[in-house]
């Protein structure tokens, strides 16, 4: 039986022409309707002896344990999965045996560019909403966009969004050229995600009390943004990756 309150590293062993997988995995994106999942499982006793597998969700022993009730990005489901004596053919191994850790790291480098882009999109939407609201909302006999306090908020938002976009373009360009981009991807992801946090907070502030109401998009953006600082490696992990890259 599985427990829904924790996660155990998946383990795989080869029996004849089949791999047998056991364990649980938390925070799996879009697993509710997925036909296939990529699974990383330990295949040996060494620290990084991990392999990647393609697992059909229709396989016997595949269990969707829990759908998380999340604060934001609710259109994309997140689940805990369990594999119990799940058998897949030998050729469902993805890449060489024991090289799953390297595959995962390579995936993270590209994924962090995607998360940076997501954060920029959220921040841009927040800026657009705040700017439009400031131009139509009146207080003390004039549009609030005429107040310097609002103007400075918008100026900072626009400047930081553009800086994050350029960092992300740099990392993406390096990836396209086949260059190592681990540190640059982490820089883009770190700055863009934290920048987006500042942007959505200011957008809510510009909306005043209306920013706290679900009728207004900025309330949703405020909730959606936070995950960009968490998945594909937290901000703390990005700082670790960047510092190691700088000091090696």
- pLDDT averaged over the chain? 95
Query: Does 139 lie in the same domain as 59?
Result: no
CA distance 39 to 88: 12
List pLDDT tens digits, range 187-203. Answer: 999 999 999 999 999 99
Please tell me the predicted confidence (pLDDT) of residue 25.
Answer: 93
Answer yes or no: are the C-beta atoms of 53 and 92 closer than 8 Å: yes
- For the chain, the residue count is 248
Q: In DSSP terms, which residues pair with 65 in a beta bridge?
A: none
The angle, 0 to 180 degrees and rounded to 10, between the axes of the packed helices 217-225 and 100-136 is 150
- 30 lies in some domain: yes
List pLDDT tens digits, range 145-195. Answer: 999 999 999 999 999 999 999 999 999 999 999 999 999 999 999 999 999
Distance of CA 187 to the CA centre of its chain: 15
The range of the structural domain enclosing residue 173 comes to 102-247
Model confidence at 4, in pLDDT bands (50, 70, 90)? very low
Model confidence at 47, in pLDDT bands (50, 70, 90)? confident
Query: Does 112 lie in the same domain as 90?
Result: no
CATH number for 17: 2.40.110.10
Sign of CA dihedral 23, 29, 5, 65: negative
Residues with a catalytic annotation lie at: 232
Position with higher pLDDT, 248 vs 4:
248
**Total count of domains within the chain:** 2
Query: Does 50 lie in the same domain as 109?
Result: no
Please tell me the predicted confidence (pLDDT) of residue 33.
Answer: 92
Q: In DSSP terms, which residues pair with 36 in a beta bridge?
A: 56
Query: Does 121 lie in the same domain as 37?
Result: no
Q: In DSSP terms, which residues pair with 28 in a beta bridge?
A: 79
List pLDDT tens digits, range 202-217. Answer: 999 999 999 999 999 9
């Amino acid at each position: 039986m599985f427990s829904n309150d924790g996660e155990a590293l998946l383990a795989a062993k080869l029996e004849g022409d089949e791999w047998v997988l056991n364990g649980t995995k938390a925070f799996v994106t879009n697993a509710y309707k997925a036909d296939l999942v990529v699974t990383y499982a330990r295949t040996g006793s060494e620290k990084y002896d991990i392999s990647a597998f393609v697992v059909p969700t229709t396989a016997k022993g595949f269990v969707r344990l829990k759908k998380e009730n999340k604060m934001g990005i609710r259109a994309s489901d997140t689940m805990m999965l369990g594999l119990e004596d799940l058998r897949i053919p030998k050729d469902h191994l993805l890449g060489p045996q024991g090289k799953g850790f390297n595959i995962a790291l390579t995936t993270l480098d590209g994924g962090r560019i995607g998360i940076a882009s997501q954060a920029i999109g959220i921040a841009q939407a927040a800026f657009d909403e705040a700017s439009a609201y400031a131009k139509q909302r009146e207080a003390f006999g004039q549009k609030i966009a005429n107040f310097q306090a609002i103007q400075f908020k918008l100026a900072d938002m626009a400047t930081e969004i553009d800086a994050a976009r350029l960092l992300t373009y740099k990392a993406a360009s390096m990836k396209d050229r086949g260059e190592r981009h681990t540190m640059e991807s982490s820089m883009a992801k770190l700055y863009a995600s934290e920048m987006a946090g500042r942007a959505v907070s200011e957008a809510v502030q510009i909306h005043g009390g209306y920013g706290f109401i679900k009728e207004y998009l900025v309330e949703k953006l405020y909730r959606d943004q936070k995950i960009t600082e968490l998945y594909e490696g937290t901000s703390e992990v990005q700082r670790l990756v960047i510092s190691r890259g700088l000091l090696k």
